[in-house]
Amino acid sequence: MNKFEVIESTKEKEGKKNNGDHSKWEYIQEEDLLIIACADGVTNSGFDYLASKISCEESIKEFINSHGSIEDRLHNGVLYANKMVSEYSEQTKGMLSTLLLLVWETDMNNIYYINIGDSRIYQISKNKCKPITEDDSLLEPILLNGKHVVQGGVPLFRKVITKAMGQSEILNYVIKKTPFNQGEILVFSTDGVHNDSPLSSKLIQLLWDEDKLQTEIDEFTRNCASSNEDDATAVVLRRRDYSEELLNRYYDEKHFFPWDGIPIYLAKIFLLNRINNAIIQNDSLQLVQALNFVIQNHLKIKRESILPLFELTNSRNLLDNKLNTLLRKLMS
């Protein structure tokens, strides 16, 4: 079983030629390290698409090529990428970007990360969501002829970021370390997704409940780009590993959902594995038990996950009327 999955989705603002957001991830197999970068180019600085691309790709490349502790390599990645954004060419001088850069040792329960600008990382645990980054931004008054613009009696402000990749001033930042445990989810978002608000409760529920989510995440970012009139990017990191002993105990004792702290998508993966193993072992009794458990708990399994099981059951001559009825119930 894969320990994790990464889902990337981005959509440019309607009518815009180049998407100013960028994301990239690499898994360094020999070190069991996952590194993810996400960036949002600052539109009014020009070349936003290039600034975000350089920030992501060069920080990851330098991290991979560096030696030392994870913290040292993160520093090297950020500083090198910042230099590349600043000095790319005379034509692009002044281009800026936010940056989220995260490293996870996949055999450990901790992550290391840096944020520069107002892109965010959210952590979802036990179906609750919190940001683990702080925006580098402030509100400044909108002025016209030296006077504060007022609309309907309310003074108007705009948000400006106070740190960015490519800035001429010394870039100060902090590397943070926080737990990242089994069953937890991380969401990287540019401001075209969060728009200075909490992460969408609909997205949180989707991430907690569903497996195979690319289509739903793509629809979500399209809607964000449209409603917020901005480039929108979301990158999702979900742990797919789980305590087999704990889930087997819940299953054997016929605990109904929710299982304490276990995302429903992980429970679905576990149950689909039980069903698959029962088919491979030609164990009709275990197969019926697992299928009934899924149905009794009203778990919605996507058709694309059920069809291969249907075909496997048929190929092994296990598909009697009872199993046929149960499998069709799951697909309905």
Q: pLDDT of 25-46, one tens digit each?
A: 999 999 999 999 999 999 777 7
Whether residues 171 and 315 share a domain: the answer is: no
Q: pLDDT of 48-66, one tens digit each?
A: 999 999 999 999 999 999 9
Measure the CA–CA gap between 90 and 283, rounded to whole angstroms: 69
The least confident of 21-30, 112-121, 323-332 is 323-332
Whether residues 188 and 46 share a domain: the answer is: yes
Mean pLDDT, to the nearest integer, of 303-320? 74
pLDDT > 70 fraction of the chain, expressed in percent and rounded: 92
Residue 214 counted as domain residue: yes
Measure the CA–CA gap between 25 and 6, rounded to whole angstroms: 8
The gap between the terminal CA atoms of the chain, to the nearest Å, is: 27
Q: From residue 180, give the alpha-carbon distance in Å to each of 36, 113, 124, 258.
A: 14, 12, 10, 21
* pLDDT of 243 higher than 90: no
Whether residues 215 and 253 share a domain: the answer is: no
Residue 98 counted as domain residue: yes
Whether residues 186 and 69 share a domain: the answer is: yes
287 and 318 Cβ atoms separated by less than 8 Å: yes
Residues in the chain: 332
Residue 152 counted as domain residue: no
* pLDDT of 219 higher than 90: yes
pLDDT > 90 fraction of the chain, expressed in percent and rounded: 52
Whether residues 194 and 258 share a domain: the answer is: no
* pLDDT of 217 higher than 80: yes
* pLDDT of 67 higher than 70: yes
Measure the CA–CA gap between 197 and 304, rounded to whole angstroms: 34
Whether residues 181 and 315 share a domain: the answer is: no
Residue 147 counted as domain residue: no
Whether residues 119 and 52 share a domain: the answer is: yes
Contacts of 199 (CB under 8 A, 6+ apart): 122, 129, 131, 187, 189, 193
The domain total for the chain is 2
Q: What value does the mean pLDDT of the chain take?
A: 87
**311 or 273: which carries more pLDDT confidence?**
273
**What is residue 66's predicted lDDT score, i.e. its pLDDT?**
96
* Domain final residue, candidates 219, 239, 259: 239
Instruction: Kindly give the interhelix angle for 70-86 and 48-65, rounded to the nearest 10 degrees.
Output: 150
* Domain final residue, candidates 175, 210, 239: 239
Residue 148 counted as domain residue: no
The least confident of 158-167, 176-185, 252-261, 311-320 is 311-320
Whether residues 25 and 171 share a domain: the answer is: yes
Whether residues 122 and 263 share a domain: the answer is: no
Structure tokens at 165: 């990749």
Q: Which region, left, alpha or beta, applies to residue 53 given φ > 0 means left and ψ of -120 to 50 means alpha?
A: alpha
Residue 47 counted as domain residue: yes
**What is residue 102's predicted lDDT score, i.e. its pLDDT?**
98
Residue 284 counted as domain residue: yes
Q: Which residues pair with 178 in a beta bridge?
A: 111
Whether residues 64 and 195 share a domain: the answer is: yes
**What is residue 149's predicted lDDT score, i.e. its pLDDT?**
62
Q: pLDDT of 143-191, one tens digit each?
A: 676 676 667 766 665 667 789 999 989 999 999 999 999 889 999 999 9
Mean pLDDT, to the nearest integer, of 123-135? 89
161 CB-contact burial (10 Å; exposed 0-12 / middle 13-18 / buried 19+): buried
CATH number of the structural domain spanning residue 172? 3.60.40.10
**What is residue 155's predicted lDDT score, i.e. its pLDDT?**
63
Structure tokens at 225: 């780009």
Q: Which amino acid is at 224?
A: C
Whether residues 100 and 191 share a domain: the answer is: yes
Question: Which residue in 185, 162, 181 sits closest to 172, CA to CA?
Answer: 162
Q: pLDDT of 83-104, one tens digit each?
A: 999 999 999 999 999 999 999 9
Domain of 188, in residue numbers:
4-133+163-239
The least confident of 118-122, 181-185, 198-202, 302-306 is 302-306
Residue 150 counted as domain residue: no
Which pLDDT band holds residue 278 (cuts at 50, 70, 90)?
A: confident
* Signed CA dihedral, 147, 148, 150, 153: sign only: negative
> What would the 3-class secondary structure string for 20-34 be?
CEEEEEEEEHHHCEE
**What is residue 139's predicted lDDT score, i.e. its pLDDT?**
64
* Domain final residue, candidates 183, 216, 239: 239
Measure the CA–CA gap between 47 and 57, rounded to whole angstroms: 16
284 CB-contact burial (10 Å; exposed 0-12 / middle 13-18 / buried 19+): middle
**What is residue 118's predicted lDDT score, i.e. its pLDDT?**
93
Whether residues 231 and 286 share a domain: the answer is: no
E strand map for 217-303: 232-239
Mean pLDDT, to the nearest integer, of 112-140? 89
